[in-house]
A = this chain, B = another copy of it.
């Protein structure tokens, strides 16, 4: 099943001709989730040939312009191109005020419903759930209220071998237990899930963490994830500046990925002062081996 992240923008606050401001498209089982929407996101979606009317859910981490200024144009383009289906927006409370003011001054009356869902920078919230996945927001530590987003597949049921059912004369409740991953007691002793089932794939998870300073409390919200995008605005030479501006260095991002037990780390949100990004990898690797640099157009599959 598809589970991939397309990087649309991985630059920090001032966009350059090299990097767009923050945005990513998360595709899980062919559902498209947009995460942050910096200026130029709709153009970058086009460049990557994404059918953006298929996006039903847009998540905004916080209200610094480089994370939301592309949203207003995207909402307008969706309207002009004939959208009728509901668009769900997730973000801080003032996001609604921003969107509504832009619609009012441009006298735009959308042909599709917007539904707002408010995030909370103080606690984790389950924002979305369907039969195969969940999306949560969780606190980050930034200069203004900011949350990350966690995308988690649900554990699928294991498939039980039919001959085992006959052989062990399993009851319906025993079958349900095994499918859920619980061993059962039979006349012939303990029957383990491994003996009885073709095991379902382990559910995959992805956490988006931009913008934030190094903050160990993240372990309360997103430990044991497969993939993490953690901002690394600065290199070690700007460690003090990182602290002052509530951002992270590449080394801190790597330490955080290690602390969280993540399997893979994507670095991004690079300050425009850096043109050579190789030092980000060099400063991260000693603390977390499986690290890559985000780049526009890059797809990371889980």
Question: What's the number of copies of this chain in the assembled complex?
Answer: 2
Q: Are A80 and B15 touching (Cβ within 8 A)?
A: no
Contact status of A64 and B106, CB under 8 A, knowing A69-B72, A101-B101:
yes
Interface centre among A17, A43, A72, A107 (most CB of B within 10 A): A43
- Using an 8 Å CB-CB cutoff, how does the interface string of A74-112 with B read, 1 for contact, 0 for none? 001100110000000000101001100110011110000
- The answer to whether residues A65 and B73 also contact, given A17-B47, A40-B43 and a CB cut-off of 8 A, is yes
- Picked from B70, B81, B92, the residue with its CB within 8 Å of the CB of A14 is B81
Instruction: Say yes or no: is A66 at the interface (Cβ < 8 Å to chain B).
Output: yes
**Least Cβ distance of A2 to chain B in Å?**
24
Using Cβ atoms and an 8 Å threshold, which residues of chain B touch A21?
73
Q: Which residue of B lies closest to A103 (CB)?
A: B65
B16 near A70: Cβ-Cβ < 8 Å: no
Instruction: Tell yes or no: A143 within 8 A of B by CB.
Output: yes
The dominant DSSP class at the A interface is loop
The 8 A CB mask of A122-149 against B (1 = contact, 0 = none) is 0000000000000000000001100000
CA distance A69 to B107 in the complex (A): 15
Question: Can you name 11 A-B residue pairings with CB atoms under 8 Å?
Answer: A13-B77, A14-B80, A14-B81, A17-B43, A17-B46, A39-B42, A39-B69, A39-B73, A65-B73, A98-B105, A107-B144
